[in-house]
Amino acid sequence: MSQLADSIIKGPLVLQTVPTEKAATLIYVPGLGWLEWVEVTGVGAFQGYRTLRCGALEFGTTVAPRPYEADLVGGLGSKTGQASIWAWAQQNGHAVTASAWTTKVFKFADVDANTFRFPDLRDVGPRFTGTNADTNQARAIGSYQADALQKITGTFGSVLNIQSSAIGAFALAASGNAAYPTGNSGDFNQFTFDSSRVTRSASETRGMNTAFAPRIHL
């Protein structure tokens, strides 16, 4: 039977604070939930308790992070006070140097001996990994992709000395008579293109959305 099942049957080991030494493989701390004892060597070496959902993204719905959450807004974290999430980031290849860190990418920055920087995921939405349709390359976990719009093409016709018209995103802006370099002259029509004539337009490409606070489970 699993440790969790045994704990439920016997009653969980409930502690008010997270111990620094192993009290049991699995413990329960009010406000944090279930924590497991972890011993990792090598990259991201860590020995201690961490939550079962350590590293999971959270859709924040509260003004301030819950006790088991941290904001993903590019703030600084403590390598001692938040050692479990920093170790997790290293173990999973999500840690970079301070100079390589940038917003919108799911990476933690190694700032100095005492601190690290959380990712800043504001103003971006998640997408599952797969193949980049433009490059045919695999998308790496945590990578950022800027907004884009599928290619739009269109045509319109203009016949000399005949009034032309435009519909949809095209509009007839001006018409008149102008001289050609040869010395002759002829009628012309000038057209403009504006997608807002037929679609909802803004300064960025986006889908319908509801905003939440970007957070991570510690």
pLDDT in tens, 14-65: 999 999 999 999 999 999 999 999 999 999 999 999 999 999 999 999 999 9
- Structure confidence at residue 192 as a pLDDT band (50, 70, 90): confident
- The residues near 40 (Cβ < 8 Å, ≥ 6 apart) are 46, 47, 87, 91
Q: Residue 74's closest CA among 148, 124, 145, 141?
A: 124
Q: Which of 186, 195, 116, 185 is nearest to 153 (CA)?
A: 195
Helix (H) or strand (E) holding 6: helix 3-10
pLDDT of 152-170, one tens digit each? 766 666 655 555 667 777 7
Report the DSSP pairing between strands 170-179 and 185-193: antiparallel
- Mean pLDDT on 85-103: 98
Give the rounded distance of the alpha carbon of 105 from its chain centre: 7
Residue 95 has pLDDT above 70, yes or no: yes
Output the pLDDT for position 213.
Answer: 97
How do the domains of the chain map onto residue ranges? 8-52
Q: Alpha-carbon distance 205 to 103, whole Å?
A: 18
Strand partners, 208: none
